[in-house]
Copies of this chain bind each other. A is one copy, B any other.
Amino acid sequence: MDVSANKSRQLGRDDAYVVGVDFGTLSARALVVRVSDGAEAGTAVSEYPHGVIDRELRGRELPPDWALQDPGDYTDALGVAVPAAIRDAGIDPAQVIGVATDFTASTCLPVVPVSDSGSGSGSAGTPLCQLPDLAGRPHAYPKLWKHHAAQPQADRINAAAHERHEKWINRYGGKISSEWQFAKALQVLDEDPEIYQLADRWIEAADWIIWQLCGTETRNACTAGYKGIFQGGQYPSPDFLAALDPRFASFAADKLAHPISPLGGRAGRLTPAAAARTGLPEGIAVAVGNVDAHVTLPAAGSCAPGTMVAIMGTSTCHVMNGTELAEVPGMCGVVDGGIVAGLWGYEAGQSGVGDIFAWFTRNGVPGEFAAEARHRGVSLPQLLDEKAADAPPGAHGLIALDWENGNRSVLVDAGLSGAIVGLTLATTAPEIYRALLEATAFGTRLIIETFNTSGVPVTELVVAGGLIKSAPLMQIYADVTRRPLSVIGSEQGPGLGSAIHAAVAAGAYPDVPAAASAMGRINRDVYRPDAAHSDVYDELYAEYVSLHDYFGRGANEVMYRLRAIRDRVLEGGSR
Contact = CB atoms under 8 A, between A and B. Distances in A.
Interface of A: 352, 355-356, 359, 362-368, 370-371, 391-399, 403-405, 417-425, 427-429, 432, 530, 532-533, 535-536, 539-540, 543, 546-547, 550-551, 556, 558-559, 561-563, 565-566, 568-570, 573-575
B550 A565 contact: no
Contacts of A568: 394
Contacts of A575: 532, 535-536
A570 B396 CA distance: 9
Nearest to A555: B550
A556 to B, nearest CB: 6
8 A-B pairs with the lowest CB-CB distances in the bound complex, closest first: A367-B367, A418-B423, A397-B566, A392-B574, A394-B565, A422-B562, A419-B421, A394-B569
B364 A425 contact: no
A574 B397 contact: no
A546 B558 contact: yes
Nearest to A561: B543
A21 B404 CA distance: 51
Given A364-B429, A429-B363, A422 B569 contact: no
A394 to B, nearest CB: 4
Nearest to A550: B556
A565 B87 CA distance: 57
A356, A395, A551: most-surrounded residue (chain B CB, <10 A) = A395
Contact of A421 (B371, B530, B536, B559): B559
Contact of A551 (B420, B421, B533): B421
Contacts of A550: 550, 556
A394 B558 contact: no
Contacts of A424: 404-405, 417-418
A415 B393 CA distance: 20
Nearest to A567: B397
Given A422-B417, A556-B546, A566 B404 contact: no
B539 A425 contact: no
A341 to B, nearest CB: 37
A539 B575 CA distance: 11
A120 B558 CA distance: 67
A566 B395 contact: yes
Nearest to A402: B423
Contact of A539 (B352, B364, B565): B565
B423 A404 contact: yes
B532 A561 contact: no
B399 A569 contact: no
Contacts of A397: 417, 562-563, 565-566
A362 B366 contact: yes
Contact of A574 (B405, B421, B533, B574): B533
Contacts of A428: 363
A362 B364 CA distance: 11
Contacts of A404: 423-425, 427
A422 B418 contact: yes
Contact of A570 (B395, B533, B558): B395
A559 B422 contact: yes
Contact of A569 (B392, B420, B573): B392
Given A404-B427, A418-B424, 20 more contacts: A364-B364, A364-B429, A366-B366, A367-B367, A367-B370, A367-B371, A392-B574, A393-B569, A394-B565, A394-B568, A397-B562, A399-B562, A405-B424, A405-B425, A417-B421, A417-B422, A533-B574, A536-B569, A543-B558, A543-B562
Nearest to A568: B394
Contacts of A371: 367
Contacts of A540: 562, 565
Contacts of A569: 391-395, 536
A104 B417 CA distance: 42
A442 to B, nearest CB: 13
A351 to B, nearest CB: 10
Contacts of A356: 425
A148 to B, nearest CB: 13
A425 B360 CA distance: 8
Contacts of A363: 366, 427-429
A368, A425, A539, A566: most-surrounded residue (chain B CB, <10 A) = A425
A533 B565 CA distance: 12
Nearest to A574: B392
Contacts of A365: 366
Contacts of A546: 556, 558
B536 A574 contact: yes
A546 B427 CA distance: 24
Contact of A573 (B359, B422, B532): B532
A420 B417 contact: no
A392, A420, A422, A543: most-surrounded residue (chain B CB, <10 A) = A422
A394 B574 contact: yes
Nearest to A558: B543
A403 B421 CA distance: 10
A298 to B, nearest CB: 32
A269 B446 CA distance: 73
